[in-house]
Structure 1
């Protein structure tokens, strides 16, 4: 039996409309303007209906400042971290119902990583050490990496790297993300501090670090090392993937920190790489407007989807365009359906849940796959 995606494609082709073209703002079957509740984003095989009111929650009882990251646990629950200390952690089912919330001590709540250890799930929470106060002023405090149970019981913290002699007095430690390797090693991205990737063992004991703002080898340079993930797409050769946002790129390293390659994504200030099967998904926090200049205070984000290293869809952005095999710059759609793509979570039906930074205190969006 054909599914809905096949029906939409056939209908579009019958009307002479390429299924690869974005259908933002109009119905591809009727050509009439599409109401916001039916807004379709994306390109080709990766098109999505935008669901703004997915999260069923009270902004008074469970206030939000910024939605930063989301993961799905072994029970199919969607767990989100934000920086409001009334409820740093919000837990939803896939219908958007709020199931639980906890956390009051992470004012810079930023990174959230699920660690599967045997039959149990654990969380790594990353407090970046920075947050916007109610007046829009950036405030700094000490960054923090914490391992917890799913209900918030703290197991251990990883302290400031100065305590083990790898940072000098006065060096900022502002961690943004954690990845957990196949043997349990912990990789911390100091994306708002010194731009190092710091590797610890499963107990939080230091092993090595690499990267930084100005290493001798430019391949190791990381400019805003915002995200870090383990790429298991080649199970015999897992890699550490670091987002170097200031370079509009991902950099791939071996598990012991040796440089492998760089994937450039022009005009995309990409957050962490999220892998699902052979695909890479990412929130794009910012892009430069066409003919304009970069401004981190502006709403210029979207989401990108890659099959392997090939960009195939940009929900909230312009269609991917390659010239002689080189990706050309992508831009946010003028209607700004997504303000900032800070993280993406994928469920088993290939729906996307998009966390947004600086998005007027709104909960995550759902992009329903069609």
Structure 2
């Protein structure tokens, strides 16, 4: 894919008018949707996006000159703030008594000041803020609550918040536990990790988490096990329910909209079979849509998902290479999908309009 052309003070001028996706979930691609100026709106990696109660689209990235970018639905920048999350990664929006609140996961991966390219692993934290950046509280290393030992890494990648206020933190770049706290940040329990006698509880790359209320009689947690190409379902108190295997799809966080689960697919290739010295930089990503029966029904930016004897077969990136790495999606009330990309050559989110 060629690098996008920029116009000073204007939008990306490269637009793909193609249609991607499968079945009833097909989309028109608009790579020029976001009206960002690369000289004053700084983007490194677009990590996640949510929509607030005013219809604004809020994105988090890991360039601390403006971690948070706020767009209207036309792609115009309305606001930007945040200068303190060099590993800004997860973004969850919660309506708390009529007020929108953000939960930000600082993953702890920061660039070396020496060369600007190497990544340094540090412990991260979770911050609760208002939508304009006022800090409410933080959740720090779980050793402070006796949940981790000091030598265990804590690099949170995502949160989910239950209606009772309980906060679930996915330590996806650290020790792969799901940590549950109450609404004030008091530790309740942890589950997951990757050294369990019962391997159903193992998580490998617990990159994302979401509350699933599609069945009102039995709310669940959906947790990503990215390097095992699967989603795992748990009860709200951490009991394993089932594992959904996703062939070669290294999925990021699950995003529930209506009856479906949507996700970015960061990679679709086997790292162990790659000749690249850094196989995680090979760009083989796209997006996916999974129905209420845990069946992948569309892969926008990828080839058509096919099942044989009930098992999903490998899905490849499309020939047009529509995306680099799919990292997150946000679905609005018009069924449009906004795609954030990691390692996407500093491009802003791509808009997919459903057709």
* TM score, norm. by length of structure 1: 0.88
Return the match for 1:96 from 71, 75, 81: 75
Q: Identify the residue that residue 360 of structure 1 maps to in structure 2.
A: 345
- The Cα shift of 1:98 comes to 0.3
C-alpha separation in 1, matches of 2:148 and 2:187: 12
1:111 to 66, 72, 90: 90
Alignment of 1:76-95 (within 5 A): 76-95=55-74
Q: Which residue of 1 aligns with 2:290?
A: 306
Answering whether residue 265 of structure 2 is matched by residue 284 of structure 1, we say yes
2:144 counterpart SS class: helix
Map of 1:43 onto structure 2: 22
Q: Which residue in the other structure is 2:160 paired with?
A: 179
1:231-285 CA distances to partner (integer Å, 9 max, x unpaired)? 1101121101100001100000000000000111010000011011101100000
Tell me how far 1:306 sits from its aligned partner. 1.3
Per-residue deviation, residues 139-187 of structure 1 (Å, max 9, x unmatched): 2233010000010000000011111112112211000000001211000
- What is aligned with 2:3? none
Q: Are 2:199 and 1:224 aligned?
A: no
Residue of structure 2 aligned with 1:297, choices 261, 274, 281: 281
- C-alpha separation in 1, matches of 2:274 and 2:123: 32
* 1:343 is aligned to 2:328: yes
- 1:148 correspondence with 2:148: no
Q: Does the CA contact (< 8 Å) of 1:268 and 1:284 recur in 2? A: yes
Contact kept, 8 Å, 1:126 with 1:175, in 2: the verdict is yes
- The correspondence for 1:121, drawn from 100, 110, 117, is 100
**CA–CA distance in structure 2, aligned partners of residues 37 and 165 of structure 1:** 51
Q: Compared with structure 1, are the counterparts of its residues 301 and 151 closer, same or farther at alpha carbon in structure 2 (3 Å cutoff)?
A: same
Displacement of 1:195 in angstroms is 0.2
Partner SS state of residue 41, structure 2 = coil
Question: 1:266 maps to what in 2?
Answer: 247
Contact 2:15 2:32 in 1 (8 A): no
Give the equivalent residue in structure 2 for 1:69.
48
The Cα shift of 1:290 comes to: 12
SS of aligned partner of 1:252: strand
Distance in 2 separating the partners of 1:316 and 1:169: 42
What is the aligned counterpart of 2:187 among 206, 231, 234?
206
Question: Counterparts of 2:184 and 2:128 in 1: how far apart (Å)?
Answer: 10
Cα distance in 1, alignment partners of residues 319 and 50 from structure 2: 29
Supply the distance in 2 between the matched residues of 1:327 and 1:171 (Cα, whole angstroms): 35
Partner secondary structure for residue 280 of structure 2: coil
Q: Give the aligned length.
A: 336
Can you give the 5+ residue segments of structure 2 that lack an aligned partner in the other structure? 1-13
Cα deviations by residue, 1:21-71 (Å, 9 ceiling, x for unpaired):
xxxxxxxxxxxxxx9531111111111111111110211111100000000
Quote the offset at 1:340 in angstroms: 0.6
CA contact (8 A) 1:289 1:332 kept: no
Report the equivalent of 2:175: 194
TM-score (norm 2): 0.92
